[in-house]
Structure 1
Amino acid sequence: MATSSPKDRYFAVWMIFFMLGLGTLLPWNFFMTATMYFQSRLKEPLSTEVSANQSKEAGDNHSILEAKFNNMMTLCAMLPLLLCSCLNSFLHSLIPQRLRVMGSLFIILFVFIITAVLVKVPLKPLPFFSITVVKIIINNSFGAVLQGSLFGMAGLLPTSYTTPIMSGQGLAGTFAAFAMICAIASGSELEDAAFGYFIVACVVVFLSILSYILLPKLIWVLAFSVCFTFTVTIGTFPAITADTQSTLAEGGSWEVYFIPVSCFLLFNLCDWTGRSLTAVCMWPGRDSLVLPVSIVARVLFIPLFMLCNVQPRLHLPVFFQHDGFFIAFIVLFAFSNGYLASLCMCYGPKNVLPHEAETAGAIMAFFLALGLASGAAVSFLFRALV
């Protein structure tokens, strides 16, 4: 009996496999592309007290680590890759897939965190060389396990899902090279550029971990939605809204009460109303495109508030002079924040199996916090544009 394949809504599975494919080869490419940094750490200044002949001999001895680094790096990368790929093909049935994938990603992330930290730690060439070689061995050993497990996962799906893995791996080298070029172009010292470079690697590996977590759940639309909702909200409130001044007060008591009432009290009342309304009405449904479209549409509130009487201002004109515009915007802004965010948080755990609901809830809470932090960060930009 023929069975139909599950529908990949929004190409979510394809994108996750692409991200995981990127994560398999990106760590090795980051090590390989950073050879200029590694070789600079393997140099050792010569003593001024030695004679010219001794200096030449000492120079030869000191440069041997630098000269042999690329060869050692390749050897220490490819041999573990071969051995662990072989072991994974025999032992994959004994170790759960989730442990193999998540364990490998977390160990690779830990290796890059250590690599970034060591940028700031002074070490002599030989200890630095030894530590780097060990990191490369660990990185490529677990990279082999990750790669084998990923292709095994793709083997359970239609053949088209091998393509994003290969595509992601193909992009890994280009991404690493581009990141290094950007680090150099920043004009920073080599040490600072290398630190930023390895931090980028940590971020990409962390995103690969998130991608794998979301793969069996596909709540990514809802997770993005709740994150985007709070990014828009915190990016605007109170950084812009609290600086809005009444155009009707003319020195009266309304000028004193305008922000406490129109901004803070009204926002919190409408936000609470929106959150509470989901107890009796949950429209649109969790599979409806209306929900993410409505959330993205809230970005229009940013220019609307910017064009109110926000003071002081340097760039934009005041278009919405009357206080009534600001109050209407606040009501819609706050109500939509409460209602749409509440819908996302309610729907998230319902999109997974019952035993995965707790994990889904934790993921949604993470993206909520991410939205709050992102909003706080972009609020500086939004306020500066007014």
Structure 2
Amino acid sequence: MGVEKAAAGDDESSLLLSAGSAAKIPADTFHFAYIVFFTLGLGFLLPWNAFITAVDYFTFLYPDASVDRVFSVVYMLVCLTFLILIVLYSHKSAAYVRINVGLALFVVALLVVPVMDSVYIKGRIGLYDGFYATVAAVGLSGFSDALVQGGIIGSAGEMPERYMQAVVAGTAASGVLISFLRIITKAVYSQDTSGLRKSANLYFSVGIVIMAICVIFYNVAHRLPVIKYYKDLKLQAVNGEEDPLTGAHWRSSLVNTVGKVKWFGYGIILIYVVTLAIFPGYIAEDVHSELLKDWYPVLLITGYNVFDLVGKSLTAFYLMENAKMAIWGCAMRLFFFPLFYWCLHGPKFFRTEIPVTVLTCLLGLTNGYFTSILMIMAPKAVPLQHAETAGIVIVLFLVIGLAAGSVLSWLWVI
């Protein structure tokens, strides 16, 4: 299958680590480096989670728009387009610059909704110019994600696997944070114009604050001894290459890196084709409960996010080391399609809250666990000096899966 090539990359990384073992690996004091990567993972998905979780607010303002599905397609296609460009030209730009620009643009995108709400929308229904501006902000977030996510995943890939686990757990934590904020605001604020505006503004305000923390954390991270140590190891590996990463050698190196991580990438694509075809569009718009009413999608989305976090945290305790089994596990998730279909058109029992809730939680759990496994394995399949490129490439596969899944999500309404 090709995943056996991971061993070669691990061997080369081990040699480099052995070469650097004369200098003791610095301790991660107070686990601060882990916290930094966790916070950055939380941060780069927070804007996306803020947009899709404020669905009550956007659906109230724009009743004729399929908000979740439009947001998903725009975000993923913009992110995919620019990730392809970054993969091709990442050697000509510094990850430090890309990530800082992306974090700043995230703040701009998050400001659009609260600013527009206060100066233009003001709770009025049907002002679709506001919807188009919101979609543009979603697209800007997708562009920012392309700048930030690949760089952070790449940086984590250059370090021991616990730091990649921190990043992917952080991405899940962003969904949990926003979901619990939504539950609190839905319980505290009235579900009228005023309450929905307060709720949405809170989501985006929290996002802006956390994004500011991410900017600070990222710009102090390079000073931490443990991060400097692994950056120096990478520099040694780069300097040890016979040819510089330019021109034909760069293209050859990129093709070789893609070849080594492609099976991990195929697994990631399978994961997110399934997940995005179902979540959030199907969960938010297609299933209904007479008992829970408008709480139903809120609780389902929260359940998904909590179990996604559980799955991404499990790899800190047990990491499946058989790549083939992990990829077959990704393929088995295709069975979620007929199961969720039965929840719409099957026997009466399948159309009740319990089967839908159980399946949604299993969707999140398997999404989290298999994502974490493959994201940890992929950068270790190549030499250390190519780990950042491998990280960006695997994020490209991820976004291809996200984009394909967001398009497939429209099939539920046919």
- Return the structure number with greater helix share: 2
Rg comparison, structure with higher value: 1
TM-score after normalising by structure 2: 0.45
TM-score after normalising by structure 1: 0.49
